[in-house]
Structure formats: C-alpha cells, structure tokens
Chain A
Amino acid sequence: MEKNVSNTILEVKDLKKHFKTSRGMLHAVDGVSFSIEYGKTLGIVGESGCGKTTLGRTILRLVEPTSGGIMLEGRDITKLNLRDMKKVRKDIQIIFQDPFSSLDPRNTISQALTEVVKVNKIRSGKQEIKDRVLQLMETVGLAERLINTYPHELDGGRRQRIGIARALAMEPKFIVCDEPVSALDVSIQAQILNLLQELQETLGLSYIFITHDLAVVNHFADVIAVMYLGQIVEKAPTEELFAHPLHPYTQALLSAIPIPEILVERPRILLRGEITSPINPKDECRFGNRCFHDCKECRGSNPVLREVSPDHFVACCKV
C-alpha cells in the first residue's frame, strides 16, 4: 500500500493489544495494520468479540497497546509521554456507542461542554467559552433552550449529539466513531449519520467507523476492513468489497444481512457454530472451524493478509 505519505493522516502498523486473563492471554487486537487518508472514512466491521472496540480505544491510547505503531501525521504517538499525548488528544477524538452511559448524569449540556473547552484551553474568557458552547450546540443541531438540561431528560439522538459536540469541542482532525448509531432507532440513526457526513464534508474530518451493521458501513465508509478474532481478514474499497467479497467470512456476513425489500430467494451462507475464544489462539486460520471450505492448508498456519487485486487485501488460503 504505497501511498503518498502526506496524504495519510493515520497509519497503524502491526498493532497488538493482549490482555492477561485467568485463562491465558486474550488476543483482542492481534497485528492490525491500515492507513487512512485525510477526509476519508475507514469502516471496521466485525461481530461482538472481534476486537473492534479495543482497536478504537487503543488508537486513542485509552488502552495502551502491547506493541505496534500508531502514526498520526507521521508521528508515532505510542511513544509520547502523558503531557505530549494530551496535546495529541485534541487531534483524535472518539464518539461512543452508548449515548446513555457516555455522559456524566450530573452534568448539564452546558457543564459538559464548558469543561472540555475550558480545561483544554480551546478558548478563554467566560463569554468566549459560552459562545463556543453555543456554537458547538448549533453545529450538532441542538437547540439553545436545551443548554441547561441533564442527559436523562433527553432522548438517545440528542444525547448522541452531545457526544459529538464534545468530540468536536477539541477541534479534532480525526474521530473514532465506535458504533455511534447502533443504540438508536432507525429514524434517529439516519439523522445522526447525516450529521456525521455533513461534518466530514464541512470540516474535512477523517473517521474510523466501527460497527457491526454492514448496511450502515456500506453507506458511510470509503474503505472497509472486516475483522475476525483480532485480525483483519479482508480489506477493500467499499464498492469492491460488496461486489466481490473474497473471504468466506465476508461472504457469509454479506449474505446474512437482512434486506428490507422483497427479493427473490437469495442464497444465504449459514455458518456453523459461533466465534471462538480469542484466548491463546493457535497458529491456524482463526475462521477455519466455521469455514465452509474446510481446507487443510489453513490448519497448518494462519494465512496472512495479501493484496489480490489493487487495494483489495484478503487473508485466506483459498483465494
């Protein structure tokens, strides 16, 4: 993936995060590499337990990586000390999945946003801070009259807007969106997705969009990486991935999406079993025991991600 360096805002190299558990090492993120260009969106898709959430947290160093590099505009942020990291935090922000637990229940909208603006010295002076808070609220579509409301008085959509405003308060270049709409109803979900898209266009933001919902990521991302048990098994530009899914897991995922249209019977790949444990994985294809190919090669070693056509990467020995 030889890209002009100046085009790349974030590059992740062989990132690993292992947790110690009583039953052994849990390989939550196990050698993930990708890069994102300015103003683009990388979608990360996978089922629960595949490590996508840990990946998002690790990129912000909310969870310290076990090994690997995270290059933000060419600078490796895994090596920064706390104080320098605090400065970098302004550039990378995160939007959380659950708008009900990601806000302090004791803070009003105004308190929550003021604190972020004030502590990070984005603005100074009472009036300027207040103006900034109002401006942020306007940016994310929250009416001024709600400024003194508490989170529990608001619905999920509005709460998620506060979460977005909080992320924007730092004037970031890059936002990790961790399932930002999966806790919301469809009509509200569309409002938030449109808002995120408009923000990207006007502010030139880059996103990592983590989700389990393929329909959403298809709509939203430029490039999609499919994760399975801590590793990327397939990565391709969105249209390419949906048109020519190569990895058997991707194929099964795509065929399993319920489509809200009456279609002629569509072939559905039903996988056996469920995701296995990410604790002490063996050196073999992690998808092997659910795969419909049942080949011998992948019992011996874990296939590596390789480029099979321009920009289309797959980790499967059958391809």
Chain B
Amino acid sequence: MSINNVTINAPATESAHGPAPRRYVRKTQMRIVLHQLSKNKGAMVGLFIILAIVLVAIFADVLFDYDRDVVGIHISQKLLRPSWAHPFGTDDLGRDIFIRVLYGSRYSVSVGVVATIIGLGIGVVLGAIAGYYCGLAEDIIMRFNDILSAVPSILMGIVIVSAMGATTFNLMLAIGITSVPQFVRITRASVLTVRNQEYIEALHAAGISEARIIAFHVLPNCLSPIIVQATLRIASAIIAASSLSFLGLGVPAPAPEWGSMLSLGRQYVRTASYLTIFPGLAILVTVLAFNLLGDGLRDAIDPKLKK
C-alpha cells in the first residue's frame, strides 16, 4: 500500500519532446519585478535620486564639519546671494545654504525611513492579526484604527511632540504612529485576500501548522502591496517631518532640517527668496523621487498579481 519505489509509467509528457520551451527559464518573482521596474524611466530616475540623497546623507559627516560648516556662524558673510562660493547663498547667520541643504538630507531621510519602519512594524502586526483571525480581535483593532485615522495626522504629531518634547526620536515616533492606520488597513486587506486562497486551504490539508502558514505563506504573499505602501509613506513622512519642524516642533534648531530652514527663511522671503527656494526644492525633489519609485514599484508588481 505504500508508495515507496513505485514508479508509474507516466505518460511521456516530460521526455523526448525537444528542447525545453523558453518559458521554463528560471525566473524568480524578484527578478521579474526588477526587470519591470528597470523599464520604467520615472522609477529609475526616482531610484537614482534616492540613491544620491542616501549617499550624501551617509557621507555628510565626512564631507563637512558640522560645527564649522553647518551650524557655525559667520556674520560677515550673511545673506549672500548664490555665487560660485555659495551656490545656494547664505542665511542671516552667514551659514552656507548648499551645505545645510545637503546635510539636512540626514534628518529628512532618517526621519522618513525610521518613522515608516515604526508605522510598518506596528501596522503589519496588527493588520495581520485583524486579517487572519476574524472576530473580536479584528473588531477591536479595526475600531481603534478608525479612531486613530479620524485624528488629523499633523494634529496628532503636534500633540505627541509637544507632550513628549521636541526631539528627533519623538518626531519619528509621532510620524510613525500617524502612519499606522494605513499599514493596518492595507495589511489586513491583503491578508484577507491571501487567507481565502485555495493554497492556504491546501496547506491546512497537508498538515502544516497555523503559525507556519502565517509566517511562511500568508505574509510573504502580502508583501508586495506593503512594500509599495512603505515607499510612498516615506515620502509623506518626509513632508510631515518638515511641516512639524516648520512649526518648531521637529528637529531642534540649529540642526539644518529642511522644514526649519524654510521657517527661518520665511521672514526674508521677499528680499532673499533663495533661503526658502532651495530647502523647498530639496523637499520637493526627495518626495517626488520616493513617489516615482513607489508608483513604479506598484506598476511593476501589479501585472504579476493579475496573472
């Protein structure tokens, strides 16, 4: 009765029919997505800009001396117009805007990434629980989520930062928490879809345990929309960080956060508009780059999902 050593004379499907057709070339999903992505010009531009910004952010300390170049006051050189020596000009304390903008990428990128990771971590866990186990757990999580998303995110950020103090980490935490509802919703939706797929039932029938199914089969199949969402969230986190800093609730002065630079330049907007134009452009370009990449990722992943 056992199937040991039984070889059925299977119909000769797999032999002697010429070379394997082309589609049997091994293709992982990852490779397909990357290939699709590489064909999308917008996404590639976005990716290139992001890489450049990240490189600048990493090596900012090597390139510039924080105390001298970034926060050091040189009154003699205050409010200079853009020139070869100071491509973006200097501010009212004589600090070079170009260097400050480059250095500011550190804050924006790190706040964007860390805040998104915080939101992602909390959101995915809650979303997966809500999606996989229906009933009371789902109700509690989703109602809590509804309440959280009913509060305007900037207001929530203000409340958290002013209650806990204006430090960079609190800023990350505040922005992270405001992005939780989105991650909960998107994770729950995709877990719900995947959970009802026949292969999950097949795995149950094959005696695979629940925990294993969630960790190795449900979540990996939900990853794509979550990754796309995360990329887009980084962009909005950067905007949120700048807004809070603009209001004086973010990265404390004199750190060259783009939002606080905008805030400082506000009073000179008529006479020295370059004080606001360049930090503003930096925010715009960074956010645009993440959005381009996120949209590209979505397009690259989607046709695969439809298949």
A contact set with B: CB distance below 8 Å: 57, 60, 62, 86, 89-90, 93-94, 96-98, 101-107, 115-116, 119-120, 135, 138-143, 145-146, 148-150, 152-153, 157-158, 163, 166, 168-171, 173, 191, 194-195, 198-199, 202-204
Contact = CB atoms under 8 A, between A and B. Distances in A.
B204 A141 contact: no
Interface residues of B, number: 39
B24 A166 contact: no
Nearest to B10: A141
B7 A103 contact: no
A234 to B, nearest CB: 29
A40 to B, nearest CB: 15
A62 B200 CA distance: 11
A44 B216 CA distance: 34
Interface string B1-28: 1111111111101110000100110111
Interface in B186-245: 197-199, 201-209, 212, 216-217, 220-221
13 contacts: A62-B205, A102-B198, A102-B202, A104-B221, A106-B29, A143-B13, A149-B24, A150-B29, A153-B26, A191-B11, A195-B11, A203-B1, A204-B1
A62 B202 CA distance: 9
Given A89-B207, A98-B198, 8 more contacts: A105-B199, A120-B206, A140-B10, A141-B14, A148-B26, A149-B26, A171-B3, A203-B1
Contacts of B4: 135
Interface of B is mostly: loop
Given A96-B198, A153-B27, A171-B2, A166 B13 contact: no
A119 B208 contact: yes
Given A152-B307, A170-B206, A141 B2 contact: no
Contacts of A195: 8, 10-11
A86 to B, nearest CB: 5
The 10 A-B pairs of least Cβ separation, nearest first, read A141-B10, A143-B14, A102-B198, A101-B198, A116-B206, A104-B199, A89-B207, A120-B207, A198-B8, A102-B202
Nearest to B15: A143
The interface centre, meaning the residue of B10, B24, B28 with most chain A CB atoms within 10 A of its CB, is B10
A157 B27 CA distance: 20
B13 A191 contact: yes
B1 A106 contact: no
Contact of B199 (A60, A103, A148, A173): A103
B197 A101 contact: yes
Contact of A139 (B3, B11, B27, B202): B3
B202 A103 contact: yes
Contacts of A105: 29, 199, 221
A152 B307 CA distance: 8
B152 to A, nearest CB: 35
A195 B13 CA distance: 11
